[in-house]
Amino acid sequence: MKSGRKVKITPVLTAYSVLGIGFFTQAASLILSRGSFLENIVYDFSRFTDFFDHVRRFYLGLELVYEEGMHACFPPLAYCFYYLISRVLYLDNIGAPEELAVSASGMLVICMLTALFALFFVFALERLLSVRQPAAKRLLALLLFCSYPFWLAIERGNMSQLVLILLMYAMTLKDSEEKARREAALLLIAVAAGLKLYPAIFGVMYLAEKRYKEALRLILYGIFFFVFPFIFFQGLDGFQIFLRNISAVGSGTTGITIAGLCGRIAEALGLGLAQGHLMGRILSVLYLGAVLLLSFLNRKCWQTTALLTSLMIIFVSASGTYCLIYWVIPFLCFLNEMYGRSVWRKLDYAYAVLFSLVFVAYPVPAMGSSGMLYAVLYVLILVILAEQTLRTMQKARISFT
């Protein structure tokens, strides 16, 4: 009689299981609610506003795209991309720029771009995830792509989708033995920073790993991709208006950032929203300092990648729920480390559950559409901070003995 082979429950299997349960729960909720559950995923049906709102600026007869208002806050490299899209859209749209999102050519272009994003997301995930089974990679790509943050990122049409792809490819090339691939990683990070600015935080990895020459080239590439495109947008005048716009956007806060969360807590306690935001900004700076310190002390590990990535989600004042798609990067780094082990800690299983729940935590009305996702994210970050701090203290104690 043949004995059945016992399935070993690993952190990776745990993560897949939680994501799978979340996928089927979300699908069932969408079907059984006759679509009303969709409002919990895309809260305002904005018709790809973060895409078409920037494209339409080239239809308004502006001398400069930055002149319309503070929401023209992307670096000029992003507007070079949007300009090319405006040249693709059907000419008749010039007469009705506000209707771009519902025009035939507009819908066709956004569908094609979404298809390309899905395709390159699968390619990037297959390269970044070290597991050998192709089916496991494709299943994970499906589960993540159908998760709540991706629904919102696609519905918003935000540039974060392109930035995610660039950073994922950069992470696959960063430690290559081939010099050309390592240089390509620098260029990809620089381009990502040229589109959204805050991906520049990934340069800290090079400094923490004492790869100073590469860090210097990354800075030079970043300056080029940020400064040079201003040539197409009135140079210094465009730069000054850009700074004014980004300062205006940065002065506000969203509820899921550290500053925004502190504002909500302060308001609930009767302390006032302004005081809460001020405390939150101070706490944000302290968090930034802690992340940088731990990155240099503990260097190359998935926890460092997670903490640096978290700055793109909860530190940036205007961050939206769609920014949670960046959490894919540390999640894959975590899975890679788990694949490389044969023995796991209880904490590794806790990490697997928390990582997965960041994408599929079921919405609770009292906490808002994305409240549960961020509750899990903050718990996960606190656990990582605690472990990293404890590890640093242990190293310090050993060095002194």
Collapse the DSSP code of 370 into the 3-class scheme (helix H, G, I; strand E, B; otherwise coil) and give the result: coil
* Residues 333 and 171 sit within 8 Å (Cβ to Cβ): yes
Question: Quick one: pLDDT at residue 43?
Answer: 67
Amino acid at 136: A
Q: What is the pTM of this model?
A: 0.92
Cα-based distances in Å from 160 to 62, 152, 167, 262, 283: 25, 11, 10, 25, 25
Cα-based distances in Å from 400 to 299, 389, 394: 20, 17, 10
Rounded Cα gap, residues 395 and 334, in angstroms: 22
Question: Quick one: pLDDT at residue 1?
Answer: 43
Tell me the per-residue pLDDT of 123-139, one tens digit each, with 9 for 90 and over: 999 999 988 889 999 99
Rounded Cα gap, residues 305 and 294, in angstroms: 11
Question: Quick one: pLDDT at residue 4?
Answer: 54
Rounded Cα gap, residues 362 and 22, in angstroms: 8
Question: Quick one: pLDDT at residue 263?
Answer: 83
Rounded Cα gap, residues 21 and 189, in angstroms: 34
* Residues 346 and 174 sit within 8 Å (Cβ to Cβ): no
Tell me the per-residue pLDDT of 319-357, one tens digit each, with 9 for 90 and over: 788 899 999 999 999 999 998 888 899 999 999 999 999
Collapse the DSSP code of 5 into the 3-class scheme (helix H, G, I; strand E, B; otherwise coil) and give the result: coil
Cβ neighbourhood burial of 2 (10 Å; 0-12, 13-18, 19+): exposed
Please state the length of the chain: 401
* H/E segment holding residue 180: helix 179-196
Sign of CA dihedral 360, 365, 371, 376: negative
End-to-end Cα, the chain, rounded Å: 57
- The residue ranges of the chain whose pLDDT is under 70 are 1-7, 43-44, 62, 91-95, 97, 250-255, 368-369, 398-401
